[in-house]
Structure 1
Amino acid sequence: MLPLATFSLAVLACLLTGYTLHKTRLVHLLLHELRDQGRQDNAALFRQMEALHALYTELRLRRSLPATRGWAASPDFLLELARHALSERPRTVVECSSGTSTLVLARCMQLNGSGKVYSLEHDPHYARATRAELARHGLADWAEVLDSSLTAQEFRSATWPWYETAGLPGERIDMLAIDGPPQATRRLARYPAGPALFARLAPDAAVFLDDAKRPDEQEILRRWANEYPEMQQQMLNCEKGAALLRYRPSTARQPGRFATSP
């Protein structure tokens, strides 16, 4: 029989060995996870580079676009906007928030030889920056950045900070891109695009919602699906998530289904 001290040391050695093996396995798993994550990140980055290259090629740009990282729209989302605008040739395009997407859409209007982009922008700094970029690219005639402050407006019996829309033209909207206002302004910040603008859509108009992977945007899409059954929803495979909604007026609409902008 082993002495008690020897037995205790043996048990301790077994425990330490088991603990070491457990930690080694965790490190091994972590390394595999980091490797897989690195591969996924590289693949995602490559996909954005491909989209950016396609954007420059299809738009035949002579000057560089602003950065497409961080808060800006990602290249894959911009490519979705460009391909739709070039193929369906919308005459009246409205944006919620200005930026690189304004340049992309304005260039599409220029290539099409018709149409105009109207960007609602609440931040004077971004408005000036977008106008400067439009001028640098020779696109000032194809897009107008509207100074549209966020004011308290009532939609669906609740108050929301939303763009002033008085500067928008009276024509029906053929294409709507929603990438604002910022998420920090209010929960479900982009929901009012529905009650404020869907009533102005032309038949078969397209609505693009960026950042559709976020919980807020997911909830917004669910609300819109209930409130606007005429708007057919489709998810797009974009980096930050995106949704395409098509207005199909052939679907029966109840009177008063759309709430008008205050």
Structure 2
Amino acid sequence: MDKSVDTVSQLKRLVPAPLRRRAKEALVNRSFRRAVAQIAGLPLGEVPSREVLECLQLGWGNEGFAAQTEYLEEVGRRAATTAGPILECGSGLTTILMGLLAGRRGVDTWSLEHIPDWRSRVVHKLEQSKILHVQVCQVALRDHDEFTWYDAPLADMPKEFQLVICDGPPGATRGGRYGLLPVLGDRLPAGSVILLDDATRSGEAEVLRRWTTEAKMDVALDKSFAVITRN
């Protein structure tokens, strides 16, 4: 057995678990703050490097659920240049990224979130990092007859969105992410773009099939996500 590995194992046993957790939390928080500062310092319209995005992911935590790097890169490219406003279905790390890249240009992001504790975490991070032009709306999931989707505050929201980041509601929700089009499709003009995460999963693939049947759209699949442009 490698002696260095054995030494590390012994050290882990000697360090109390609470202390190890605090050390890990400190590392994660430092990584997040560093990545946020680097992105906030970029010239307007410039996209963060993959290395910086990976640092942001590490600092965000939530392993297994946070957006993949390739998807974050595409979100970053779009957020850095879109004229906005932006709609986000399901908040998270992408909310932070859009606030940093689009918010600094005065472009508003409207994020729909149905889990109160999760919304609180996202809002805390936004406030802690002094990220502006992001509205994280606490909304319930509502029965819309044939599907369940967010009970969006339609009267308060912009009449048009140029970019949609679609990563919710959860796949187990009746109809999944389908509700975006029937509820807010009239606010997505020609040329607007939808980024659909997890597009290769069976539920999302079915949503994509229904959308393209009901509306004119160009679809480009890129690994696990789809870039959808309304015609």
Distance, in Å, in 1 between the alignment partners of 2:116 and 2:103 is: 25
Shift of 1:64: 6.9
Shift of 1:202: 2.9
Distance change (3 Å), C-alpha of 1:201 and 1:67: same
Shift of 1:145: 0.4
Q: Which residue of 1 aligns with 2:29?
A: none
Q: Which residue of 2 aligns with 1:204?
A: 191
Whether 1:108 aligns to 2:101 is yes
Provide the aligned length of Structure 1 versus Structure 2.
183
Shift of 1:104: 0.5
Distance change (3 Å), C-alpha of 1:65 and 1:101: farther
- Name the aligned partner's letter for residue 206 of structure 2: E
Residue ranges of structure 2 left out of the alignment (5+ in a row): 1-47
- Of Structure 1 and Structure 2, the greater strand share is in 1
Q: Which residue of 1 aligns with 2:167?
A: 179
Q: Which residue of 2 aligns with 1:21?
A: none
Question: Contact (CA 8 Å) 1:68, 1:75: kept in 2 or not?
Answer: no
Question: Contact (CA 8 Å) 2:88, 2:111: kept in 1 or not?
Answer: yes
TM-score by length of 2: 0.72
Q: Which residue of 2 aligns with 1:233?
A: 219
Distance change (3 Å), C-alpha of 1:55 and 1:146: farther
Question: Contact (CA 8 Å) 1:119, 1:146: kept in 2 or not?
Answer: yes
Q: 1:93 aligns with which of 86, 89, 105?
A: 86
Q: Which residue of 2 aligns with 1:83?
A: 77
Distance change (3 Å), C-alpha of 1:71 and 1:82: same
Q: 2:201 aligns with which of 189, 214, 223?
A: 214
Distance, in Å, in 2 between the alignment partners of 1:193 and 1:66 is: 27
Distance, in Å, in 2 between the alignment partners of 1:68 and 1:233 is: 29
- Percentage of pairs with the same residue: 27
Distance change (3 Å), C-alpha of 1:201 and 1:166: same
Distance change (3 Å), C-alpha of 1:98 and 1:92: same
Residue ranges of structure 1 left out of the alignment (5+ in a row): 1-52, 249-262
Q: Secondary structure of the residue that 1:195 maps to in structure 2? A: helix
Q: Secondary structure of the residue that 1:120 maps to in structure 2? A: strand
TM-score by length of 1: 0.64
Distance, in Å, in 1 between the alignment partners of 2:226 and 2:71 is: 10
TM-align CA RMSD: 2.3
Q: Which residue of 2 aligns with 1:145?
A: 136
Shift of 1:224: 1.1
